[in-house]
Homo-oligomer: A and B are copies of this chain.
Amino acid sequence: MFKGPVENKNEAAMSELVPEPRQKPVVPMKPMGINASLLGYIGIDTIIEQMRKKTMKTGFDFNIMVVGQSGLGKSTLVNTLFKSQVSRKSSGWNREEKIPKTVEIKAIGHVIEEGGVKMKLTVIDTPGFGDQINNENCWEPIEKYINEQYEKFLKEEVNIARKKRIPDTRVHCCLYFISPTGHSLRPLDLEFMKHLSKVVNIIPVIAKADTMTLEEKTEFKQRVRKELEVNGIEFYPQKEFDEDLEDKTENDKIRQESMPFAVVGSDKEYQVNGKRVLGRKTPWGIIEVENLSHCEFALLRDFVIRTHLQDLKEVTHNIHYETYRAKRLNDNGGLPPMTVETEENHESNL
């Protein structure tokens, strides 16, 4: 079990010692001489259990945004993902509700607990997007909202007296709903993803995929991937952020085969072969949303929740937020954003 120390620089300079995370060590790892390791277990790997305990106590934030024209099943899909009515339209949704005249941003918070782990989930909906006669620049309020969350985090981060854990309202994941036209992406789709893919993790999904046959779906997916590539749109998981070969292999498969996930959502339960399933009942059969031979919902769920949730948060923090922060500080001559009071103080000093 115990592999012993693999690197040992004697009396090296004080602070250059700790190897930089994720970099290959400069000094090749070499086993030490005799007597280097003593018998028995140390307990280094208990750090995992210690971290688990901390996470069980604190829980974690996850903020997901849904964007796409009305009627594409955004709310239903999010409800299906989290197996509960987490979307704004969940209770008392009135089908007569008017489509807003401009893009609105609506966020709802929930706490969902499973296996003792608490997730503070915020679902951010964007009603009105793509629903106007003229949809020019309708991505702007969305970009503004995303940046405002970065700004809020940055302000908190540069505060002298900081919170122990900065409340995280940053959008970790943006599901973009593509209409299942079977033709091609529309200019608005491209425009949105082109602008927003630089500031947020976009995961494109083909909505209401039950309107397509298997062949149509395969062909449409290929076409969408091609169009995204031709237009230089990098969706999540971005190639450049793969951290090692294992990541690359896993993510290449997602990028080249799964994306965009062709999904069907449902918050209705049916009995199929004695089992209760989430599905959509049609005269020709029940579409089971979690049945992989029916649609790719289960793939999307596994991807967003079960394999890449932590990574979505880390890419948001390490890449998108850092990019915002660097730009903000550069624009400000290297100084952090100030509160109004401080700016006034400065002026009175002049």
On A, residues with C-beta under 8 Å from B are 1-12, 14-15, 17-22, 25, 29, 32-33, 35-48, 50-52, 54-61, 63, 79-86, 88, 91, 105-117, 119-120, 122, 124, 145, 148-149, 152, 158, 160-165, 167-169, 243-244, 267, 269, 276, 278, 290, 301-302, 305-311, 314, 318, 322, 325-326, 329-330, 334-336, 338, 342
Q: Which 3 A-B pairs rank lowest in CB-CB distance, beginning with the nearest?
A: A45-B115, A17-B109, A50-B310
Given contacts A20-B167, A45-B114, A50-B307, 10 further A-B contacts (CB under 8 A): A14-B145, A19-B109, A36-B85, A38-B83, A42-B81, A43-B114, A43-B306, A47-B119, A50-B309, A160-B326
From B48, B61, B336, A336 is in contact (CB under 8 Å) with B336
Pick 30 A–B contacts, CB within 8 A, sort by A.
A1-B115, A3-B112, A4-B112, A8-B86, A8-B91, A11-B106, A14-B145, A15-B107, A17-B109, A18-B109, A18-B167, A19-B109, A20-B167, A21-B164, A22-B165, A38-B278, A39-B276, A40-B83, A41-B114, A42-B83, A43-B301, A45-B117, A48-B52, A48-B117, A51-B52, A51-B55, A52-B52, A160-B326, A160-B330, A334-B338
| Copies of this protein chain in the complex | 2
Known: A48-B52, A311-B50. A244 touches B57 (CB 8 A): yes
> Hey, which chain B residues are within 8 Å of A37, CB to CB?
83-84
Give Cα A91 to B34, complex, Å.
10
Give Cα A48 to B61, complex, Å.
13
Known: A41-B114, A55-B51, A160-B329. A33 touches B167 (CB 8 A): no
Give Cα A298 to B162, complex, Å.
37
Would you call A14 and B278 a contact (CB within 8 A)?
no
> Hey, which chain B residues are within 8 Å of A111, CB to CB?
5-7, 19, 25, 29
> Hey, which chain B residues are within 8 Å of A290, CB to CB?
40
Give Cα A79 to B124, complex, Å.
52
Would you call B47 and A310 a contact (CB within 8 A)?
yes
Q: Which of A21, A44, A342 has the most CB of B within 10 A?
A: A44
Would you call B38 and A84 a contact (CB within 8 A)?
yes
> Hey, which chain B residues are within 8 Å of A51, CB to CB?
51-52, 55, 310
Would you call A162 and B322 a contact (CB within 8 A)?
yes
Would you call A108 and B9 a contact (CB within 8 A)?
yes
